[in-house]
Amino acid sequence: MKTYAGRTAVITGAGSGFGLEASRIAARRGMNVVMADVQQDALDRAAVEIEGLGAKVLPFRVDVAKAAEVEALGAATMARFGAPSLVFNNAGVGAGGLVWENTLADWEWVIGVNLMGVAHGVRVFTPLMLAAAEKDAAYEGHIVNTASMAGLINAPNMGIYNVSKHAVVALSETLYQDLRLVTDQIGASVLCPFFVPTGITQSQRNRPGELAASQPTKSQLIGQAMSDRAVGRGKLTAAEVAQFVFDAVDEDRFYIYSHPHALSSVQTRLEDIVQARNPTDPFAAKPEIGAELKAALRAR
Ligand SMILES: NC(=O)c1ccc[n+]([C@@H]2O[C@H](COP(=O)([O-])OP(=O)(O)OC[C@H]3O[C@@H](n4cnc5c(N)ncnc54)[C@H](O)[C@@H]3O)[C@@H](O)[C@H]2O)c1
């Protein structure tokens, strides 16, 4: 995309982390900002701040896991601003633990937000953008979906999150290819961050009552402690990651990485696949972490 001012961005998970930082950049670039989030208080605070930057803002409370709510978001966006140029399907939640210990509610919650949230965003907004492109040869659009490095590798003790993020990578790569078949006016990207300090480790704050968590198992408590530590130690800021997103949209780049050095693990995984060898020990480079995790899980 080359032009931002006067155009519209729809950003999910806009109340915190990458979504809030992306809203700040969109506002500074002169865009109207549709800020969507499930957490009303965070959304209200964020919307006031972004309006303060001079942007026209439509704050919209939405649970992205719910098809009808994302459809309502699409209708509200059209009514206020018309078809968006940038759609950032970014809302997501984290959950861990040994993969057989996740409850049905855990699966429904994480897959609902991380995968179906993105699927609903794609399903609702892409046709609106295609219609705008058809009407106006000068229209440019771009869809960015947030996956994770967990969408490209499979670290243990966080299977449910890995599954959701691999699916977002698959959805995004297919979206890119499908768009190329029908238009040159709309691009697509996938954001694959590594550990960055945000609210992601406190995702349970927005877990709906009907999918409430049961008493956490030992592996889930260990997973929470490990991700608190890894995310807390992240050196890159959410603002820098949001800037990478806009840089990629500027340049029509598909894969957006926060920590390119982590791609060596992706390479190892892909070599495992093509050489049909068993999955490499993910802790080969840092055996003390693997040993600590095994000891903690096996302790009685
Ligand atoms: N921070 C990291 O280290 C990291 C790494 C890889 C991927 N990610 C991904 O980045 C994305 C953004 O997360 P973040 O790190 O900024 O965390 P965050 O918790 O700071 O922000 C996520 C936002 O999504 C909102 N949200 C949660 N459930 C929702 C729902 N059902 N409907 C609408 N909004 C909902 C939250 O209220 C919050 O404002 C997520 O998809 C996450 O999986 C984060």
Q: pLDDT of 88-141, one tens digit each?
A: 999 999 999 999 999 999 999 999 999 999 999 999 999 999 999 999 999 999
pLDDT band at 300 (very low <50, low <70, confident <90, very high): confident
C-alpha 85 – ligand 1 centre gap (Å): 22
Distances (CA, A) of 254 to 88, 162, 192, 211, 248: 13, 20, 10, 34, 7
C-alpha 203 – ligand 1 centre gap (Å): 7
pLDDT band at 209 (very low <50, low <70, confident <90, very high): very high
- How far, in Å, CA of 159 to CA of 165, rounded? 10
**Mean pLDDT on 214-227:** 94
pLDDT band at 8 (very low <50, low <70, confident <90, very high): very high
Beta partners for residue 90, in sequence order: none
64 lines ligand 1 (CB under 6 A): yes
Q: Residue 262 contacts by C-beta under 8 Å, 6 or more apart in sequence?
A: 149, 194
- Dig out the tokens for 137 from the structure: 């040869």
Residue 294 phi, psi (nearest 5): -60, -45
Ligand 1: which of 10, 34, 38 to mutate, most ligand atoms within 8 Å of CB?
Answer: 38
C-alpha 189 – ligand 1 centre gap (Å): 17
193 lines ligand 1 (CB under 6 A): yes
With contact defined as beta carbons under 8 Å apart, do 160 and 185 qualify?
no
**Among residues 227, 195, 208, 202, which one has the least CA distance to residue 293?**
227
200 lines ligand 1 (CB under 6 A): yes
- Dig out the tokens for 159 from the structure: 């299977």
With contact defined as beta carbons under 8 Å apart, do 60 and 44 qualify?
no
Q: Which of 139, 161, 176, 257 is catalytic?
A: 161
Tell me what pLDDT residue 196 has: 97
With contact defined as beta carbons under 8 Å apart, do 192 and 148 qualify?
yes
Q: Judge whether 4 counts as a catalytic residue.
A: no
141 lines ligand 1 (CB under 6 A): no
Beta partners for residue 189, in sequence order: 144
- Ligand 1 atom nearest 197 alpha carbon: 1
* Residue found under tokens 């068993």: 278
Above 90 in pLDDT, residue 239? Answer: yes
Beta partners for residue 257, in sequence order: 192
Residue pLDDT, tens place only, 54-94: 999 999 999 999 999 999 999 999 999 999 999 999 999 99
**Mean pLDDT on 27-31:** 98
Instruction: Report pTM.
Output: 0.98
- Ligand 1 atom nearest 238 alpha carbon: 16
Share of the chain above pLDDT 70, in %: 100
With contact defined as beta carbons under 8 Å apart, do 210 and 154 qualify?
no
